[in-house]
């Protein structure tokens, strides 16, 4: 799974974890990273066990996700009409220590995530543009246009 994306423009990067008996230092994003565009905003999305936050799609904003706490399943769907990977669906699990990854999701892709750990997870996001409520489109978690069922995967009600 690591460093492999089946969707055009998605970049998966292994992040450094500097182990320390007092607690690890966990890299996220530097301004000199090859895929860094610009800094728009940093925020966190807490996800409670079993909860689903899906689907979202941005017109212009790029996401850079990492999961420093807990474990999250992210699903990305390419419904861009002119994409070479149009119709592709990618499922990724993010969490320490084996999958401490940064996932860059360019604009135009649909994505959602769920917490698959028994304790709350924290998804961190460093975007290239600050939050603009007119930039994001929301769809129901059970929207039939996307071939993925959160209900089957989580065993929980997926109404977001």
Q: Interface residues with its own copies (CB under 8 A)?
A: 21-32, 38-48, 51-53, 68-69, 115, 120-122, 124, 126, 130-131, 160
CA 36 – CA 159 distance, rounded (Å): 34
Cβ 145 to its own copies shortest distance, Å? 22
Helix (H, G, I), strand (E, B) or coil at 18: strand
Question: With b meaning 16 or more CB within 10 Å and e meaning fewer, what string describes 62-72?
Answer: bbbbbbbbbbb
The least CB distance from residue 81 to its own copies, in Å, is 30
Q: What is the distance between the alpha carbons of residues 101 and 90, in angstroms, rounded to a whole number?
A: 15
Peptide bond into 7 cis (omega under 30): no
Place of tokens 């909860």: 51
Nearer to its own copies, 7 or 75 (CB): 75
Closest distance to its own copies from the beta carbon of 15 (Å):
9
Q: How far is the CB of 84 from its own copies (least distance, A)?
A: 31
Identify which of residues 86 and 149 has a Cβ nearer to its own copies in the complex: 149
**Which CB, 21 or 82, lies closer to its own copies?**
21
Q: Please, which residue, 103 or 124, has the CB nearer to its own copies? A: 124
């Amino acid at each position: 799974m690591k460093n492999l994306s089946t969707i055009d423009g998605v970049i998966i990067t292994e992040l450094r974890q500097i182990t320390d008996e007092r607690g690890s230092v966990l890299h996220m994003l530097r301004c000199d990273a090859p895929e860094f565009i610009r800094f728009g905003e940093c925020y966190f999305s807490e996800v409670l066990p079993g909860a689903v936050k899906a689907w979202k799609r941005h017109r212009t904003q790029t996401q850079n996700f990492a999961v420093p706490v807990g474990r999250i399943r992210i699903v990305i769907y390419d419904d861009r009409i002119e994409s070479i990977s149009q119709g592709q669906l990618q499922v990724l699990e993010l969490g320490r220590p084996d999958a401490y990854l940064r996932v860059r999701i360019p604009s135009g892709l649909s994505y959602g995530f769920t917490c698959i750990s028994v304790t709350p997870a924290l998804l961190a996001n460093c975007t290239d543009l600050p939050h603009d409520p007119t930039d994001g489109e929301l769809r129901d978690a059970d929207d039939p246009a996307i071939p993925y069922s959160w209900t089957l995967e989580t065993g929980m009600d997926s109404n977001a």
